[in-house]
Copies of this chain bind each other. A is one copy, B any other.
Amino acid sequence: MKLLIINPNTSTAMTTGIAAAARQVAAADTRIVAVQPSFGPLSIEGHFDETIAAAGVAEQVRLAAPHDAVVIACFGDPGLDAAREATRAPVLGIAEAAFHAASFVATGFSVVTTMTRTCVIAEHLLHRYGFERRCRGVHGTDIPVLALEDGGAGCVDQIEAAAREALSRDRSGAIVLGCAGMAALCAELTRRLGVPVIDGVAAAVKFAEGLAALGLGTSQHGDYAPPLPKTYAGWAAPLGW
């Protein structure tokens, strides 16, 4: 199968990193194709960034070559509903996938993310998806997204400390990493913390493979039916229906 993984920001280094993380867990017969929008922010650390990035995700799904599944690799799941409307394939956001995975292995989990100001984005997603009771806390570390690329030991230590405190204070049994850029740290954190640590990129890849294997794609009935025919203006003209 061909799995389209979209990095919603325009950092090529992060696209490469996400592709590597995805390939590490993908099945032998899964081909990972990683793309990024032709426009938008270098990283996503707030509502404005995310809104532009969501349009970037929509662009990439709209213009994509045929594929069997789609993963949106930013923890805010930008453009998820738009992407689902634009393809018959199953589409997963990494926040969504991580929350689902965590709820399979613990009665309560905590999220450890980057900028504190983005915690509210995670909280809105948790509520939207129905995980507001399963998630027992969302915690910012104020590590900038792009600082994760260097993957310095400092980041791991800081995330480990935040995770330890979350496990204890929130009475949680698992940790969800709140940024695609943390994928590379997942194994080390798992080793250190001794609890399930969930990277959404990995979770999304496996769930996407599973859905595709079952022939389950986005419903074409109801609000995810293909968009109505519509003229689009300006740079978005090629995205019209």
Q: How far is the CB of A134 from chain B (nearest CB, A)?
A: 6
B216 adjacent to A105 (CB under 8 Å): yes
Give complex CA distance A46, B108 in Å: 15
Taking a contact as CB atoms closer than 8 A, the residue among B41, B174, B230 that contacts A240 in the complex is B41
**Nearest CB to that of A215 among chain B residues?**
B190
A215 contacts across to B, CB distance below 8 A: 190
**Interface contact B84-A47, CB-CB below 8 Å:** yes
A181-214 with Cβ < 8 A to chain B:
190, 194-196, 198, 202-203, 206-207, 209-211, 213-214
Near B by CB (< 8 A), chain A positions 84-108 give 84-86, 90-92, 96, 100-101, 103-108
Greatest chain B CB density within 10 A among A79, A90, A106, A107 is at A107
**What residues of B have a CB within 8 angstroms of the CB of A52 in the complex?**
55, 58, 82, 232, 236, 239
Contact of A219 among B42, B134, B195, B231 (CB under 8 A): B195
> Can you sample 7 A-B contacts with CB below 8 Å?
A39-B236, A42-B230, A48-B85, A106-B218, A116-B171, A118-B223, A203-B210
